Amino acid sequence: MSDKHERRDDARRIVILTGAGISAESGVPTFRDAGGLWEGHRIEEVATPGAFLRNPRLVHRFYNLRRADLAERQPNAAHQAISRLQACRPGRVFLVTQNVDDLHERGGSSELLHMHGELRRARCERCLARYEWDQDLGTDTACWECGRTECVRPDIVWFGEM
């Protein structure tokens, strides 16, 4: 094996980047495949700040269904392998995921960053409070911090926000 392909036991830190493919193995629909996440909806209808302003009920319904579906999914062998790697190298393996699901956490991973947010969290558009949330959201959901309604949404990054 050449030097550049040798396993490096002396690596200080390992960064792993995951995306939709890892969760697809758990049955989580991807958004670009036929029959995938966006089928029946245009992105502009459910995954933009403008969509939330125009039709918050539709946006909440869409993400409430996603949240309920995720509750039925289980981490797969890849999620568990990353967790085992983190356990073998405490503090040296950092995970960055583009996914908004919590399968890495349920698979045992601890040091991770959700670069597009988390579906099981909510945030208030008014006061910017963020909190854990695993129930349905609606236009009547009140913010825990400011008490306002019609402004709490999933704590995820929508198209046009980055």
Q: Residue 101 is part of a domain; what is its CATH number?
A: 3.40.50.1220
Confirm whether 135 is domain-assigned: no
pTM: 0.86
Is 60 a known active-site residue?
no
| pLDDT value for 3 | 57
Confirm whether 159 is domain-assigned: no
Confirm whether 134 is domain-assigned: no
Mean pLDDT of 84-109: 97
Confirm whether 60 is domain-assigned: no
Confirm whether 104 is domain-assigned: yes
Mean pLDDT of 147-158: 96
Mean pLDDT of 95-124: 97
Angle at 161 between CA 150 and CA 55, to 5 degrees: 35
Task: State pLDDT tens for residues 20-68.
Answer: 999 999 999 887 666 555 567 888 899 999 999 999 999 999 999 999 9
**Number of domains present in the structure of the chain:** 1
Confirm whether 94 is domain-assigned: yes
Q: CA 4 → CA 1, 7, 8, 9, 14, distances in Å?
A: 8, 9, 9, 13, 16
Confirm whether 102 is domain-assigned: yes
**What do you get for the CA distance between the two ends of the chain, in Å?**
41
Q: Residue 30 in contact with residue 36, Cβ under 8 Å?
A: yes
pLDDT at 72 over 50: yes
Of the candidates 41, 79, 104, 116, the residue annotated as catalytic is: 116
Confirm whether 95 is domain-assigned: yes
| pLDDT value for 50 | 96
At residue 1 the predicted structure's pLDDT band, cuts being 50, 70 and 90, is: very low
Both tokens of residue 64? 């409430």
**Which uninterrupted H or E stretch holds 70?**
helix 56-72
Q: Which domain holds residue 84?
A: 13-28+74-115
